[in-house]
Structure 1
Amino acid sequence: MTTTTDIVAKLWGLCNVLRDDGVTYNEYVTELTYLLFLKMLAEVPDQNGVLRENRLPENYRWGILAKREGVDQLDYYKAMLLDLGKAKDGLVAAIFTDAQTRLRKPTNLKALTSNIDQLDWFSAREEGLGNLYEGLLEKNAADKKSGAGQYFTPRPLIDCIVRLMQPQPGEVVQDPAAGTAGFLVAADRYIKDHTDDLYKLSPEQAHFQRNNAFVGGELVPDTHRLCMMNLLLHGVEGGVVNIDTLSPDGAGLPKADLILTNPPFGTKKGGGRPTRSDFSVTADTSNKQLAFVEHIVRALKPGGRAAVVVPDNVLFEDNTGRRLRTWLMELCGLHTILRLPTGIFYAQGVKTNVLFFQRGKTDKGNTSAVWVYDMRANMPAFGKTRPLTVADFASFETAYGSDPNGSAERKDQGEDSRWRMFTREAISARNDNLDIAWLRDTEAEAEEALTEPEDIAAAIIGHLKAALEEIEALSEEIEPDSVEEAATIAEAAE
């Protein structure tokens, strides 16, 4: 989508205006989003053809804001944000709660509103303003200075998971760690693509899809704000609440037919434990990823399915980790594990997997075999110069099959392949350790085997050259001085 890409680049360029007014990288998208959202509401009609800005009070619309000048415009904007946080429309109020501008110079606000008005909104509407907004979120996540990558799952991975899990009209889809709503938006898009934008559904079914189908929680207030805006621009009315899912509030989320999520990794602040009275397996741990897995199992309806991104330690950690895996495989059919390549998330060293499982109708013996696809060994080094693409998942999707619950006919392709099956008995013999790898990673072994000084030096130079290529690819997004300095360091090391 050329127009969308161009507009995203121009919008991101406006962040230089914000930086000149003392706005930090972490505040970039939130600040720009207030203005962009108001403009988009003036451009986006609802399902009845009525512009969505009708949800705003008549005295607080984009057209009024954009026409004002100087200090009057800045004062009006500050009052606008404050009053919209108290709006009668619940979704508008949720989006603008505690909203405030960091802008101090009236000339900068005018520069932003003027530049936003001059964008090619006609073409953007044709391509989808929701897609434009997602592009801005993705741009923010890709910018290492923003720190937003922790809230962003690569789109090719999300789309692969959604295609395999096949969300259906009428199902409740939950993301308990929603971030900016990437999974929920992709699930909504999948359903719309298969229902002629919901026109094949009855009015009651279409209403459910817009208002009740997508639910979740997001802990960080500013991220929750971005999430709500993203959903609304895609025609979804709320559904994600600003809560800590590992607190008692999380137990109140509706039971789900499908859960899609990439929960946060690490421990709760201060080493605190989940405060959920319904937790038993992970009640004594501060490990968030283990606790989120327990939430997901408990939040699924009988027969419900889930796909969840987890770090490697969930597969091999002893004590609580082992108890959780054993419990999971009893209550659910854990049918597939995808070992993801490194370098696809904001923290390059994080090793991750996707667990695919179905909640059983009973609480005993639901896992009979686990299929593992190794997409990690002997894979390219993913990053800026080699981004993850949809094509990278094609072989896995073929092996997975057409049934979302892993019941399609599958064939173990042997020790030299990426796709193998392990019986429940074989896993029990491993003390329920699911960190299963069998392929030799020849690239990694080759580097580890280097002993001669000249070979080691050559390997180091190769890494430095690759790093320099990464720096050059980023040169348009970071200051020229930083590029020159990095290049000088690389040349000196070489």
Structure 2
Amino acid sequence: MANKKAAKKAATPQTTAQSLGSLVKSCRDIMRKDKGLNGDLDRLPMLTWIMFLKFLDDMERLREAEAELGGDRFRPLIKKPYRWRDWASADDGLTGPELIAFINQEKATLPNGKEGAGLFAHLRSLQSAEGSGREEVVANVFRGVSNRMESGYLLRDVLNKIDGIHFDSTEEIHTLSRLYETMLREMRDAAGDSGEFYTPRPVVQFMVEALDPQLGETVLDPACGTGGFLVEAFEHMEKQVKTAKHRKTLHNGSLLGQEAKSLPYLLCQMNLLLHGMESPQLDYGNSLALKVTEIGDRDRVDVILTNPPFGGEEEASIKSGFPQDMQTAETAMLFLQLIMRRLRRPVGGKQPGRAAVVVPNGTLFGDGVCARIKESLLKDYNLHTIVRLQNGVFEPYTKIPTNLLIFDRSGPTKDIWYYELPLPEGRKNYSKTKPMQFEEFGDCLKWFRLKRRSENDQAWKVPASDVLKYDDNDALVSCNLDIKNPNSAEALEHLPPEQLVADILQKERRIIEIMEEIEAELAGAAG
């Protein structure tokens, strides 16, 4: 019977992007009438947990049908009467105060008329036999969720509309995932300065392309937010899937994430599910609570892609998990240490782990504890590339200049290559209406992939020994990675006249050499 229901549901006409957009817009319009919600910062989380439960029920229907066809026993994730189909899908189901009570209260009257735990109370209590299954994912999601709608009648209208989305339709999932990303951007804009620090998608795309995660590798974002890096890494690795075994590898432990705040954690879960991840492996909590002094090989991964929070301060209990001479309250520097320690070591034939990390400019020139952490980075790891981004890349969320540190555990560092990403021609800065585009990374990506790099107007090389300064007693004085582009107009203005002349002559000679090479090739072709 279950397979017939699933087949019937899958045969439902596909919802177009336009009609799905209208449906979601209609839900948000309904929510605007509810006094308990405060703008998109409340409406998007509401829509997210509602869609999350509808998605789970549709996936459960499919799994039940597959189990029945295969003659296997099906163990439901959510049991009666807490499944979407039991309380949300019927037009004449619970509504008004009874619906709000069923969702919110610890004890409530259930859809079947019996007394029992309320919906959220039940979902928060879910637990698997092994203690690390899908039940824990749902429980963690709903521990950080609350129902802010006050009107059960308006909520019933929203439920009826969401029931029209079919998450067992591949086309509808892709359509909704694109729409969902638009909604996430709107929420970020609404958050303003008080919201999370979000990474523009072109920056995420470049970092994933640069590290090129491969099927079979583990990818971690220890501060995953709404899941931008994990989604991009998943889509990058999904292109490598050719067999059922490949697919199993991708979905079982390839992508790992952790998020300390409940709303981004929920949004990340939904984001990954909508993009095709079957059981996202996300931990809820502060990644920095893991003592770096106790990290072992089982905690290490192949690839780390992240934009960790910076500007914040951590508690003494968190700092105590770091080496005594590298303890700091600055979040960015603690995350950098965590990332370094969690990269896989090149032992037993394993390739060294690699990372791409967004850091504020202050990380490059910071001294004291910051300098000691950077010294460790250069001595124990290979910081082979620093990509310097232009101001305004992260507008409107922050004006702080940022950089991308790209390193691996093959260290130590011999030379640091810098690449300064230029602004598009005719542009003075980026803005909300004219943001960065991925195409602007094109030249940088080609240069990054070269086996033999060369210096140019945007790229230059600095020996690691030049940035590590010690006193006569071999005590570290500074580790300044804030090296300006020597080819920039600003740098040229400060060069002494004799060096300016020498640079110009060198470039002229190179131009003449190139012209002679071209002339020789043309002469050879004519002959």
What SS does structure 1 have at the residue aligned with 2:479? Answer: coil
2:458 to 400, 418, 436: 418
Tell me which amino acid in the other structure corresponds to 2:56: L
Tell me, yes or no, if structure 1 residue 428 matches structure 2 residue 465: no
Render the CA deviation track for 1:280-301: whole Å, top value 9, x for unaligned.
Answer: 4531x11110111111111111
Q: Which residue is 2:368 aligned to?
A: 319
What does residue range 402-413 of structure 1 map to in structure 2 within 5 Å?
A: 408-413=451-456
Tell me which amino acid in the other structure corresponds to 2:401: K
Q: Which residue is 2:162 aligned to?
A: 116
- Residue 43 of structure 1: how far off its partner (Å): 4.4
Q: Which residue is 1:32 aligned to?
A: 47
Tell me which amino acid in the other structure corresponds to 1:310: V
d(CA) in 1 for partners of 2:283, 2:322: 20
Q: Which residue is 1:211 aligned to?
A: 252
Report if the CA contact (8 A) 1:255-1:301 is conserved. Answer: yes
Tell me which amino acid in the other structure corresponds to 2:482: D
d(CA) in 2 for partners of 1:227, 1:244: 15
2:323 to 275, 279, 282: 279
Tell me, yes or no, if structure 1 residue 82 matches structure 2 residue 121: yes
Tell me, yes or no, if structure 1 residue 290 matches structure 2 residue 333: yes
Q: Which residue is 1:487 aligned to?
A: none
Q: Which residue is 1:455 aligned to?
A: none
- Residue 320 of structure 1: how far off its partner (Å): 1.4
Q: Which residue is 2:269 aligned to?
A: 228
Gaps (5+ residues) in structure 1?
403-407, 446-494
Q: Which residue is 1:103 aligned to?
A: 149
What does residue range 392-471 of structure 1 map to in structure 2 within 5 Å?
A: 392-401=440-449, 408-413=451-456, 417-428=457-468, 431-438=478-485, 440=488
Q: Which residue is 1:173 aligned to?
A: 219
Tell me, yes or no, if structure 1 residue 60 matches structure 2 residue 96: no
- Residue 70 of structure 1: how far off its partner (Å): 2.9
Render the CA deviation track for 1:346-367: whole Å, top value 9, x for unaligned.
Answer: 433111111000013xxxx611
Compared CA separation, residues 352 and 34, structure 1 to 2 (3 A): same
Report if the CA contact (8 A) 2:16-2:172 is conserved. Answer: no
Q: Which residue is 1:262 aligned to?
A: 307
d(CA) in 2 for partners of 1:422, 1:4: 50
What SS does structure 2 have at the residue aligned with 1:420? Answer: strand
Q: Which residue is 2:190 aligned to?
A: 143
Q: Which residue is 1:299 aligned to?
A: 342
- Residue 15 of structure 1: how far off its partner (Å): 3.7
- Residue 48 of structure 1: how far off its partner (Å): 9.6
* % identical equivalent positions: 27
Report if the CA contact (8 A) 2:141-2:262 is conserved. Answer: no
d(CA) in 1 for partners of 2:211, 2:409: 14
2:279 to 237, 247, 257: 237
1:94 to 140, 152, 160: 140
What SS does structure 2 have at the residue aligned with 1:57? Answer: coil
Render the CA deviation track for 1:122-146: whole Å, top value 9, x for unaligned.
Answer: 6852635444444432332233459
Q: Which residue is 1:41 aligned to?
A: 56
d(CA) in 2 for partners of 1:238, 1:57: 21
What SS does structure 1 have at the residue aligned with 2:353? Answer: strand
Compared CA separation, residues 370 and 86, structure 1 to 2 (3 A): same
Render the CA deviation track for 1:382-430: whole Å, top value 9, x for unaligned.
Answer: 222102222121121111116xxxxx221111xxx11222222333369
Render the CA deviation track for 1:182-233: whole Å, top value 9, x for unaligned.
Answer: 211211111111224xx2x62xx54343132222321112322222333334
What SS does structure 1 have at the residue aligned with 2:225? Answer: coil
Render the CA deviation track for 1:154-201: whole Å, top value 9, x for unaligned.
Answer: 1221111111111112212111111122211211111111224xx2x6
Tell me which amino acid in the other structure corresponds to 1:175: D
Q: Which residue is 1:381 aligned to?
A: 429
Q: Which residue is 1:246 aligned to?
A: 288
Report if the CA contact (8 A) 1:157-1:390 is conserved. Answer: yes
Tell me which amino acid in the other structure corresponds to 2:272: L
What SS does structure 2 have at the residue aligned with 1:274? Answer: helix
d(CA) in 1 for partners of 2:364, 2:445: 22
What TM-score, normalized by structure 2, do the two folds share? Answer: 0.71
Tell me which amino acid in the other structure corresponds to 2:184: L
Compared CA separation, residues 53 and 105, structure 1 to 2 (3 A): farther
Report if the CA contact (8 A) 1:339-1:376 is conserved. Answer: no
Structure index of larger Rg: 2
Gaps (5+ residues) in structure 2?
1-14, 68-73, 105-117, 128-134, 346-351, 470-476, 494-527
Tell me which amino acid in the other structure corresponds to 1:29: L
d(CA) in 1 for partners of 2:75, 2:442: 41
Compared CA separation, residues 49 and 183, structure 1 to 2 (3 A): farther
- Residue 111 of structure 1: how far off its partner (Å): 2.8
d(CA) in 2 for partners of 1:96, 1:206: 28
- Residue 273 of structure 1: how far off its partner (Å): 6.8
Q: Which residue is 1:352 aligned to?
A: 402
Compared CA separation, residues 211 and 12, structure 1 to 2 (3 A): farther
Q: Which residue is 1:70 aligned to?
A: 96
What SS does structure 2 have at the residue aligned with 1:246? Answer: helix
What SS does structure 2 have at the residue aligned with 1:256? Answer: coil
Tell me which amino acid in the other structure corresponds to 1:35: I
Tell me which amino acid in the other structure corresponds to 2:48: T
What TM-score, normalized by structure 1, do the two folds share? Answer: 0.76
